[in-house]
A and B are shown apart, each in its own frame.
Chain A
Amino acid sequence: MSSDVMTIQKARTADRPWVESLHEWVTTVDHKRLGILYILYALVCLVIGGIEAIIIRVQLTRPHLDFVSPQVFNRMFTMHGTTMIFFVVMPVLFGFANYLVPLVIGARDMAFPRLNAFSFWLTALGGFLLYFSFLGGNGLYGAGSAPDVGWWAYAPLTSRAFSPGHSSDYWTIALMVSGFGSIGTAINIIATILCMRCPGMKLSRMPLLAWLYLIMAGMVILAISPLTAAQIMLSIDRYLGGHFFDTQAGGSATLWMHFFWIFGHPEVYVLVIPAFAFASEIIPVFSRKPIFGYPVMVGATVCIGFVSMSVWAHHMFTIGMNSYANSFFAITTMAVGVPTGIKIFNWLGTMWGGKIQFKTPMLFCTGFLFQFLIAGLTGIMLGAAPFNWQLSGSYFVVAHFHYVIVGGILFALFAAFYYWYPKITGRMLNESLGKLHFWLFLIGFHLTFDVMHIPGILGMPRRIYTYEPGRGWELWNLIATIGAFVQGIATVIFVMNLIVSYWKGQKAGNDPWDAWTLEWSVSSPPPAYNFASIPTVASRRPLWDQKHPEDPDSRYE
């Protein structure tokens, strides 16, 4: 049935003028189209943010290089960080949420389709505003274009005295606007998961993807809001002459740090929990085993959600908090490692004894597991306050969080691309290009970020635009830059693969991976209404039940 529907749709789209289909895409409220828009938007920003990263790395290749000026360097690392967090990872995760959540819970759309579109366009506007600062940031002051205050924008750098012109305002407004978009989408995800599940899809039968997105959305609501509040305060300071973060009038720069990191640390988990979600869907399918310890996985994620709300000040050990605060935040930071460790063991338990197929998605998931573990270990190191005093603000920290975000989150994201691309487009991604992408990216990643720990330990501070020769940092920086280029080439291969496979890829069919969740029961790409008749489920793996009526999961749950 579904394939008939598809051909009818294809025929209709083929002979329409492009303006009409463009108009359809711009005004769409369909969760699948909005998901694709989110993902495409994030991919464009990924390329931009990647170019900024390359500029940073080129400048640091050798001591005393003059590739960019110090001012431009400051703008590059600020824009790189802001772009990657707010306009790459957040939108791409929301894109996958939009596309997948209604499909895996057997719904026809999100709970609020128009809110969904509104949230996407807010996010898009936010990114546009951020980059418009290159043109409009100068204001009347000739004071420099893009924001250059670092992605956490510590006071008093953002005060009028130190940041004339409008660059900081664009940064503030961009984050506020995209923050409203994020809150809107998060509300939508929660309402969808709680209120739109198909009959039989009890909470205890939901795919882990839906569970983890539910927790992620809850964290977005509690984490983005403080950031929005802090941005409102900053705007009051800059436009109405307020004194929130104005130390000369008794205001506190430390308060901004607290407010920023109350957002900033949960944000890391907001980003990584969907990565967990992808791993929890992909690893079982390619290990040919159901997920190991489903209830524990859910419990551990809820636990991470709670504990990660009270770890923020481990970013602030060096500002001189009292020893009670230091101990508290060191202990909570260690504690959050426990549920995370449980999850890693569960994924290993899923792989253990399975008939593992190392297709590209599984390769990326394996890389994710390994690298996320190491990232967690350096995280535990940095969570120990005395050790942190030594290394805070150094390249060790930069290496650590890139290990989390690139080695962990980005690898899981690549896995998700390879896994769900067939569902979204109807075509398989090229497997050999995929493997090439994986190995190149893996090598590039380890060249850059393994090595980057070392200049950190040797005392190289982050955010310096150049350095003196003879401190033992040259070789490591050179290797890191080479690695960055290897990653860049791998990313180009990935993008090529996305483009070429869209036309030339092998036809995917409904269920190319022999998977078990509901999205694979409909055609690829799914019809506009997703399910011709709303399915009813009786277990956590509805498609397994369908394919194996003689031995359904529902018998054991």
Chain B
Amino acid sequence: MSTATSPVVQPAAGWTLPYRGKVAMACLIFAESAIFTIFVVAYLFYLGKSLTGPIPREVLEVPIFYSVCLLSSSLTLHFATKFLHGGKRGAFLGLWFFTIVLGALFLFGTAQEWHRLIYERGLTISTNLFGTTYYALVGLHGFHVIVGLLMLMIVLLFAFLGRVGPEQSARVEVLSMYWHFVDAVWVVVFTVVYVLGR
């Protein structure tokens, strides 16, 4: 056939396909949702089935402040990506950093709660079914918050080094999809553990 071949795919006019990053993240979110569903089902299934105490009503306190922190971090992240897209570097950096602070606050809240439960209430993962399902579900979510925070911090690092500009906003949006998902899961976990489960 013809001459030199370019390894770069030339998109034909009028032929557009969805952005692969978003599609992949949507798939990952589906997979994660399935995992969380199983944990939520286990939590609900074992509600009230513990053979010994403590039971949720005795020991759980509703973490309203820290939940507000986590949920509002979705908002700050949303605007941070908007500012990045619009090329406003300062606002992007500030809001991005604030998002990380909010996420870290939430983790601090969880740590505090677990410390209280373990050392004051004597509830560990092996105490009873409530302990097992509670730490598993909240811990799984906390793990996702940690992963999200690490990735947010990597972006922050690159942003400080001046490597994140408007041209990366599509990629940054993929990460923000993940963070929104983690927040949405918290709404479910919160409802199941602190509202229905108490």
A and B interact physically: yes
| A438 on the B face (CB < 8 A) | no
Instruction: Assess whether A251 is in contact with B35, with CB atoms less than 8 Å apart.
Output: no
Interface membership of A327, Cβ < 8 A: no
B126 touches A243 (CB 8 A): yes
Cβ-based interface call for A366 (8 A): no
Is B24 interfacial (CB-CB < 8 Å)?
Answer: yes
The answer to whether B17 and A229 touch across the interface, beta carbons within 8 angstroms, is no
CB distance B2 to A236 under 8 Å? Answer: no
B36, B45, B132, B136 pick with most chain A CB within 10 angstroms: B132
**B20 surroundings in chain A (CB, below 8 A):** 111-112, 191-192, 194-196
Q: How many residues of A contact B (CB 8 A)?
A: 47
Contacts of B132 in A (CB 8 A): 236-237, 242-244, 251
Closest to B140 in A: A232
The one of B18, B34, B36, B129 in contact with A250, judged by C-beta atoms closer than 8 angstroms, is B129
Instruction: Name the one of B2, B17, B35, B129 contacting A195, with C-beta atoms under 8 angstroms.
Output: B17
- Whether A296 sits at the interface, judged by CB under 8 Å, is no
Output the nearest chain A residue to B36 by Cβ-Cβ distance: A229
Q: Given the complex, which residues of A lie within 8 Å of B32, measured CB to CB?
A: 225
Q: Does A379 contact B (CB under 8 A)?
A: no
Proximity string of chain B (7-48) to chain A, C-beta cutoff 8 Å, 1 when within and 0 when not: 101111001011110011001101111111111001001100
Q: Please choose the segment from A270-278, A408-416, A531-539 that sits at the chain B interface, where 4 or more of its residues have CB less than 8 A away.
A: A531-539
- Docked-complex contact B23 and A229, CB < 8 angstroms: no
The verdict on B128 contacting chain A, using a C-beta distance below 8 Å, is: yes
Whether the pair A532, B10 counts as a contact (CB closer than 8 A) is: no
Contact between chains at B38 and A230 (CB < 8 Å): yes
A534 to chain B: closest residue by CB = B9
Task: Tell me if A314 counts as interface (CB < 8 A to partner B).
Answer: no
Q: Which of A51-59, A180-188, A549-557 contacts B (4 or more CB under 8 A)?
A: A180-188
Rounded to whole angstroms, the CA-CA distance of A467 and B11 in the bound complex is 66
User: A19 interface residue, CB < 8 Å from B?
Assistant: no
Measured CA separation A225–B33 after assembly (Å): 9
Contact B35 A229 (CB under 8 A): yes
B-side contacts of A241, CB under 8 Å = 125-126
Contact with A along B111-154 (1 / 0, CB 8 A): 00000000000000110110011001000100000000000000
Instruction: Check: B88 CB closer than 8 A to any chain A CB.
Output: no
A250 touches B136 (CB 8 A): no
- CB atoms of B42 and A255 under 8 A apart: yes
Q: A348 contacts the other chain (Cβ, under 8 Å)? A: no
B49 at the A/B interface (Cβ < 8 Å)? yes
State whether A255 touches B34 (Cβ < 8 A): no
**Any chain B CB within 8 A of the CB of A481?**
no
- Do A226 and B34 have beta carbons less than 8 Å apart? yes
Decide: A229 and B38 in contact? CB cutoff 8 A: yes
Please tell me if A190 contacts chain B, counting CB pairs below 8 Å. Answer: yes
Is B1 interfacial (CB 8 A cutoff)? yes
Q: Give Cα A252–Cα B36 distance, bound, in whole angstroms.
A: 19
Question: Separation in Å of the A297 CB from the closest CB of chain B?
Answer: 23
**Closest chain A residue, CB of each to CB of B24:** A191
Of the candidates B23, B38, B51, B126, the one having the most CB atoms from chain A within 10 angstroms of its own CB is B38
B10, B23, B34 interface centre (most CB from chain A within 10 Å): B34
Interface pair B24/A187, CB less than 8 Å apart: yes
Chain B interfacial residues counted at CB < 8 A? 41
Of A192, A225, A255, the contact of B31 (CB 8 Å cutoff): A225
A152–B30 CA distance with the chains assembled, in angstroms = 24
Residues of B within 8 A of A112 (CB): 20, 24
In the complex, whether A489 has a CB less than 8 A from a CB of chain B is no
Contacting residues of chain A (229-272) with chain B, CB-CB under 8 angstroms:
229-230, 232-233, 236-237, 240-244, 249-252, 255, 259, 262
- For the complex, is B50 an interface residue (Cβ under 8 Å from A)? yes
Contact partner of A233 among B2, B23, B42, CB < 8 A?
Answer: B42
Given known pairs A236-B125, A250-B129, A529-B5, the reply for A183 and B23 (CB within 8 Å) is no
A182 closest partner in B (C-beta)? B31
Asked if A40 lies at the interface with its beta carbon under 8 angstroms from chain B, I say: no
Chain B nearest CB from A372 CB (Å) reads 28
Tell me the bound Cα distance from A397 to B2 in angstroms: 58
A295 close to B (CB within 8 Å): no
Q: A2 — which chain B residues lie within 8 A by C-beta? A: 1
**Which listed residue, A187, A188, A229, A250, touches B50 by the CB 8 Å rule?**
A250
Q: Are B136 and A236 in contact, CB atoms less than 8 angstroms apart?
A: yes
Closest to B21 in A: A191
Contact B15 A199 (CB under 8 A): yes
A197 touches B (CB below 8 Å): yes
Chain A positions 165-202 with a Cβ under 8 Å from a chain B Cβ: 183, 186-188, 190-192, 194-197, 199-200
The interface residues of chain B lying within 8 Å CB-to-CB of A226 are: 34-35, 37-38
CB contacts under 8 Å to A, within B90-128, are: 125-126, 128
Interface membership of chain A positions 513-548, coded 1 if the CB is closer than 8 angstroms to chain B and 0 otherwise:
000000000000000010011101000000000000
Task: Judge whether A153 is part of the interface by a CB distance below 8 angstroms.
Answer: no
Question: Cβ of A194 and Cβ of B18 under 8 Å apart?
Answer: yes
Provide the B153-191 mask, 1 if CB < 8 A to any CB of A, else 0.
000000000000000000000000000000000000000
- Nearest B residue to A241 by beta-carbon distance? B126
Q: Does A388 touch B at the CB level, under 8 Å?
A: no
Pick the residue among A192, A221, A242, A249 that contacts B34 (CB under 8 A).
Answer: A221
Q: Within residues 88 to 114 of chain A, which ones have a CB less than 8 A from any CB in chain B?
A: 108, 111-112
Task: Produce 1/0 per residue, A1-17, CB < 8 A to B.
Answer: 11000000000000000
- B24–A242 touching, CB < 8 Å: no
B126 adjacent to A195 (CB under 8 Å): no
Q: Are B35 and A225 in contact (CB under 8 A)?
A: yes
> Given A195-B23, A199-B12, A200-B15, do A228 and B35 touch, yes or no (CB 8 Å)?
yes
Q: Does A384 contact B (CB under 8 A)?
A: no
| Extra contacts besides A221-B34, A232-B35 (8): CB < 8 Å | A195-B23, A221-B27, A225-B33, A230-B38, A233-B39, A233-B136, A237-B132, A250-B46
5 interchain residue pairs of minimum CB distance: A241-B126, A225-B34, A229-B38, A1-B1, A199-B12
Q: List 11 A-B contacts (CB under 8 A).
A: A111-B24, A196-B17, A199-B15, A224-B31, A226-B34, A232-B136, A233-B42, A242-B126, A244-B136, A251-B129, A529-B5
Binding site for B on A (CB under 8 A): 1-2, 108, 111-112, 183, 186-188, 190-192, 194-197, 199-200, 221-222, 224-226, 228-230, 232-233, 236-237, 240-244, 249-252, 255, 259, 262, 529, 532-534, 536
